[in-house]
Structure 1
Amino acid sequence: MKWKLILLLTCVLGYLQYALWFGKNNMSDFHQVQQVLVEMQAQNSTLKLRNDRMYAETADLYNGLDAIEDRARSNLGMIKPNEHFYRVISDAEQN
């Protein structure tokens, strides 16, 4: 009886070891998923920084007039009343 129990436990241990190393969701799959997780976390942190900058810019556009004025001047070429605008063109831009 004692030998049968030892044999049964050895078979169960062997099956568990096989499943751990070669079965579905084995150790190599675990390490691959871990690597993908690290890469995605790095990508997420980069995207989070970009989103934070965009949220800050959006909040500045809603709350402050300086950002709107800066955008209007740089993107649309707008100027204030009684203000003179001079555009200097370098030789490289003329060619």
Structure 2
Amino acid sequence: MRLLLLALCLSLLLLQGRLWVSGEGIREVNQLKAQVAERTEENRMLAVRNAALEAEVQDLKQGLAAVEERARVDLGMIATGETFFQITPQRLTDSDR
């Protein structure tokens, strides 16, 4: 009976040591939890970005206002009948200072 109890205690100690010390134990579980948290945050940020891009795609598909805005901003286009004015900042001379 004592031999069986000794064997069980020794087995328990070995298993506990493996759980706490080995690479496949608690340390790995904690590392995996941290990786899951990082991936979850990354996925959340990508989902927000995807939603914004999806809204922009839908806007481009449905309305001409978005296309017109893109043409104005990206290509510098103006509509027929519009007059383009460019206002530049006034330069200060030495006498104005």
Q: Same fold (TM over 0.5)?
A: yes
How many Å apart are 1:49 and its aligned residue? 0.9
2:78 is paired with a residue of what secondary structure?
Answer: coil
- Does residue 27 (structure 1) correspond to residue 26 (structure 2)? The answer is yes
Whole-Å Cα distance in 2 between the matches of residues 68 and 91 of structure 1? 33
Question: Structure 1 pair 40/8, CA: closer, same or farther in 2 (3 Å)?
Answer: same
Task: State the match for 1:46 in structure 2.
Answer: 45
Q: CA deviation at 1:35?
A: 1.8
28-37 vs 17-26, greater mean Cα deviation? 28-37
Residue 37 (structure 1) shift? 2.0
Structure 2: gaps (5+ residues): 92-97
CA RMSD of aligned residues (A): 1.7
Q: Which runs of 5+ in 1 are unaligned?
A: none
Runs of at least 4 residues off by over 6 Å: none
Name the SS for the 1:8 alignment partner. Answer: helix
Report Cα offsets for 1:18-76 as digits up to 9, x if no partner: 11011231212222222222222212211221111111111211121110011111111
Q: Residue 91 of structure 1: CA displacement?
A: 4.0
The match for 1:66 is 65
- Matches of 1:80 and 1:38, distance apart in 2: 49
Distance 1:57 1:28 in 2: 44
Any idea what SS the aligned residue of 1:82 has?
Answer: coil
Count of residues in correspondence between the two structures: 91
Q: Which residue of 1 aligns with 2:89?
A: 90
The structure whose residues are more often helix, as a share, is: 1
